[in-house]
Amino acid sequence: MGFSVKMVTRAIEETGDQNTEQILEVLLRYSEDAVLREKETKLLHLIDMNFLEDEASSAINACGPDTSIADLIDFIYASQIGKTDDFPLCKPLHQIPNDDEMRPDQRCGFPPTDQKRKKLFAEKFKRKLEMGRSDSKESKKNLKESIEEHDRIRIPRHMIGFGIPNEPRPTFQRKLPEEAIGPPYFYFENVAYTPTGVWDTISRFLYEIEPEFVDSLHFCAAARKRGYVHNLPVQNRYLLQPIPPLTIYEALPMTRKWWPTWDQREKFNCMRTCIGSAKLTQRIKEALECWGGNPPIKTQKRVMYECKKWNLLWSGKNIAAPLEPDEYEFIMGYPKDHTRGFSTTERYKAVGNAFQVDTVAYHFSVLKSMFPTGITVLSLFSGIGGAEIALHRLGIPLKTVVSVEISEVSRSIFRGWWEQTNQRGNLIELEDVQELSTDQLQKYINTYGGFDLIVGGSPCTNLTGSNLHHRDGLAGKESILFYDFWRVLNTVKCIMRNNK
Ligand code: SAH
């Protein structure tokens, strides 16, 4: 009937092999569980992208749980476009009606004037709705199969990876596949929430290692959900000292006096490469100034939506403003003024793409006892040097770093740090990873005696949920560079094995 052998075996184990009816019932229950899991994963995904729970949930209910994240986002944005006349950027917030005060056509989000657009969307989502509600065995079977085959790796809800400080994953042991074991050690990073199947592919290429999904909110005052595939030991990790502030208040105590009681955030959302506009700050100010004390709940809700979406902090009475670049640096674990000297836009972009240093240092801490005299690193997509800063702060000398980074701004920031911290090792700077040849790798390996660590987080441009236009997965123009990480890693492993 189209159920996988694995599922049937499990169902038989659960029910005994006598009663076919019962086995079928269990199989259908498994399928329903898969649908629920799918719905929950998508809900969390959308919430993580800063959509409101209500709107995410409505979108899933309306379109069906098997709708892709990209289509769900389309749906939500369509609803928001519909609400344009009532939405914060266009009208003072205190004038926004509650959903239940709106006419039905406003509620479902289509501007009455834009009939053509409304009709198009209505048709598209009616079809989705029908598909979502369909409970035919065929559609359940297809859904189950697509979940099983393409999305084997599940993103855990609480991203504590293989254990976070004070809360190690109970009795966690991992056994790496033989061909994954170093040298060299390697460490690959990317955004946790990617289009379906991306982490499966990444894991398959990287020796079937289970990704470690970690949210940096366990390490600092901001969320940052990332997946890491690596072959590092996972026992006896420790934190960088001093431990950074874990809440917004502790990180930015000066803002405390401006923080309204109804904003109960303790953590920022993920630091991104762009920030909220001055116009938005002004709108929020105007909306709040109308009220002497606390604004009504609906205004609070709208303001909180923007604050969460754009990571705004309170920098004055009724002033919700973006974090400054140096506050970004601080929360992400970088030295003060690390990116200073570049335009604000460049600074946000560089830090928004970077590693959260405390998180990465926690994973790298196991290297300290292994490389007491220093480490030789091949750093791909080095950016502003998150990996090197983590190693340096752990007290692991950087003997040689071959750094590959295409952005001149990032290279310059990293070189500045290298000089200011009086590094004694060799820094070799290369630009395009695609041009890093086998001959070059052979030469570096011969000169420096091989690499101890290969590290890199390839561009997430076509993977992240915030890219609504080119979220093409690993085949995307920039995200395809993952395969260069894999190529380089494989080549180095081969050369080092042959040199033994
Ligand atoms: N981990 C880094 C940032 C990684 S973001 C940090 O801590 O800062 C991905 C990086 O890949 C960006 O800095 C981007 O400029 C770089 N990049 C993009 N295309 C590249 C290419 N073809 N070769 C080398 N680097 C590239």
pLDDT tens, residue by residue, 271-307: 888 888 899 999 999 999 988 788 999 999 999 999 9
Q: Which of these is catalytic: 63, 108, 220, 460?
A: 460
* Residue 223 and residue 365 share a domain: yes
pLDDT at 257: 93
For residue 23, how many other CB atoms are within 10 A of its CB?
Answer: 18
pLDDT at 242: 94
* Residue 293 and residue 229 share a domain: no
- CA–CA gap between residue 331 and residue 324 (Å, rounded): 11
Helix (H) or strand (E) holding 357: helix 357-364
Under a CB-based contact definition with an 8 Å cutoff, are residues 44 and 50 in contact?
no
Counting atoms of ligand 1 from 1, which one is nearest the CA of 410? 13
pLDDT at 459: 87
* Residue 317 and residue 266 share a domain: yes
Q: How many domains does the chain have?
A: 3
| pLDDT tens sequence across 126-176 | 454 444 444 445 544 554 444 444 457 888 878 999 999 888 777 778 899
Give the pLDDT band of residue 41 (cuts 50, 70, 90). confident
Q: Quote the mean pLDDT of the chain.
A: 82
Tokens of 386: 């998150």
Residue 76 located in a structural domain: no
Q: Does residue 156 have a cis peptide bond before it, meaning omega lies within 30 degrees of 0?
A: no
* Residue 491 and residue 361 share a domain: yes
What is residue 222's DSSP assignment? B
386-395 mean pLDDT: 98
Atom 15 in ligand 1: which residue has the minimum CA distance? 407
Counting atoms of ligand 1 from 1, which one is nearest the CA of 353? 5
| pLDDT tens sequence across 223-241 | 999 999 999 999 999 999 9
370 alpha carbon – ligand 1 mean position (Å) = 27
350 alpha carbon – ligand 1 mean position (Å) = 9
Q: 428, 369, 359, 432: which is closest to 395 by C-alpha?
A: 369
pLDDT at 323: 95
- CA–CA gap between residue 414 and residue 403 (Å, rounded): 9
- Specify the length of the chain in residues: 500
271 alpha carbon – ligand 1 mean position (Å) = 17
Give the pLDDT band of residue 396 (cuts 50, 70, 90). very high
Question: CATH no. for residue 384?
Answer: 3.40.50.150
478 alpha carbon – ligand 1 mean position (Å) = 10
* Residue 432 and residue 296 share a domain: no
* Residue 359 and residue 488 share a domain: yes
Report CA dihedral (242, 243, 249, 254) to the nearest 10 degrees. Answer: 20
| pLDDT tens sequence across 434-483 | 999 999 999 999 999 999 999 999 887 666 655 555 556 777 777 789 99
Atom 22 in ligand 1: which residue has the minimum CA distance? 432
Give the pLDDT band of residue 54 (cuts 50, 70, 90). confident
| pLDDT tens sequence across 162-196 | 999 888 777 778 899 999 998 999 999 999 988 87
Residue 252 located in a structural domain: yes
Q: 233, 139, 137, 227: which is closest to 185 by C-alpha?
A: 233
Atom 21 in ligand 1: which residue has the minimum CA distance? 432
| pLDDT tens sequence across 84-123 | 333 333 233 333 333 333 333 333 222 233 344 445 544 5
298, 332, 366: which is the final residue of a domain? Answer: 332
| CB-based pocket (< 6 A), ligand 1 | 353-355, 381, 383-384, 386, 404-407, 410, 432-434, 457, 459, 478, 481
Using most ligand atoms within 8 A of CB, pick from 405, 430, 434, 455 the residue to mutate for ligand 1.
405
pLDDT at 36 over 90: no
Atom 9 in ligand 1: which residue has the minimum CA distance? 459
270 counts as catalytic: no
- CA–CA gap between residue 226 and residue 161 (Å, rounded): 10
Under a CB-based contact definition with an 8 Å cutoff, are residues 378 and 488 in contact?
yes
Give the pLDDT band of residue 82 (cuts 50, 70, 90). very low
187-214 mean pLDDT: 92
What is residue 267's DSSP assignment? S
Q: Which amino acid is at 280?
A: L
Atom 10 in ligand 1: which residue has the minimum CA distance? 381
Tokens of 272: 């991104």
- CA–CA gap between residue 279 and residue 45 (Å, rounded): 28
Query: Judging by beta carbons within 10 Å of its beta carbon (0-12, 13-18, 19+), is residue 466 exposed, middle or buried?
Result: middle
Residue 354 located in a structural domain: yes
Which residue range is the domain that position 353 belongs to?
178-243+349-499
pLDDT at 466: 59
